[in-house]
Structure formats: C-alpha cells, structure tokens
Amino acid sequence: VSRCRGGIQTGAVDGDLELDGCYRPYCIRTGLSLVQPGIKILSEKMTGGEAMIRAAKANGTDTIFGLPGAQIYPMFDAISRDPDITSIISRHEQGAAYMAYGYAKATGRPGVFSVVPGPGILNASAALCTADGGNQPVVCLTGQIMSAFLGKGRGHLHELADQQATLRTIIKHADHIAD
C-alpha cells in the first residue's frame, strides 16, 4: 500500500487504516495497480495490518516469515485468517529476515518477513543489508508505536527515535503508512 506516489519495501501499521481514494496499492516490481476487477480494496474499512497483508498477497506473497509481537498482531491476525498465506515463525528477528532472504534467493520471488519495530528491526538489519548487497528482493513489514507519540521520546515499547531514517541508511526504501 502506498500513498499516491510510491511503493513500500517496509511499512508501519498504525491502528485502523481506511483505504480510500488517497491510497493506491500497486506492485513494487512492476508498478502495476493491485486493484483488480471484482476486488474492492480501496473502499473497505480494515486494519493497517489487514491492508498490508492484502497488498502483499496481491503482489504474489504466499509465505511470510516472522516473529509476532505487540505492534504487529493485526498483521498476524490477518495472516491467520487467510488460508492462502503460510506463516513461518522464527525464534529471532534475524532468523526471520534471513529466511526471507534465502526464500528470495532460492525462488527468485520477493521474500517477505515481519518483525516488531525498534529492536526487532535492528535485529533484522544484518539480513536487510545482506539482501540489499546481494540484490535480493526482500520486503519487511513492521509496526510502529502510536502516531501521537512518534518522535516524542516517551519510552514506548519498541520505540526507535526515527525508524524510517534509520532504515533508509541501510535499505532501498522505507515508508510509514498513516491515516
């Protein structure tokens, strides 16, 4: 899911997200619209996690590696309700990211993983750097603290001072999806 002009390779879930005319899901690789005949994705109310999983599925994702946690439970709820997506749970964030990297390298398809923000993303950063250096298509889906507290330094669970800026130093693209 993207805001009118650009795809995501990592995004953040921020509670409920109503997809309306401002959001344009599309394929990161081809740039083609994900809005298909008979699928009402733009007018339906859903959580941010559901929107991200639907967009991943529309891009051909059938396997998501990950480690569930507080800010990404809506994504794992959506995965558990979708019989077409398999979740493979790791014991550590780095393991989930390297599994996605290995999947991408072995299949030639984007490897997708999900970890909690802050320390979860930092734990996965070595695999993100490896995927970038190895030119493998790896997508990380993560969550975020509540928008009202972003950048406030209040010490929320898994808070990172500027997660997107941190990620932009090591990967191709990072974005935050908000309402």
- The burial of 102, by beta-carbon neighbours within 10 Å (0-12 exposed, 13-18 middle, 19 or more buried), is given as middle
Tens-digit pLDDT profile for residues 88-102: 999 999 999 999 999
Residue 117 reports pLDDT greater than 60: yes
Angstrom distance (rounded) from CA 146 to CA 139: 22
Residue 129 near residue 170, CB atoms below 8 Å: yes
Give the span between the Cα atoms of 163 and 115, in whole angstroms: 13
Mean pLDDT of 45-68: 90
Q: Judge whether residue 104 has pLDDT over 70.
A: yes
Beta strands in 107-156 (DSSP E): 111-115, 138-143
Residue 114 · residue 142 · CB < 8 Å: yes
pLDDT score at 43? 55
Per the document, the length of the chain is: 179
Please give the pLDDT value at position 70.
Answer: 81
Cβ neighbours for 135, distance < 8 A, ≥ 6 positions apart = none
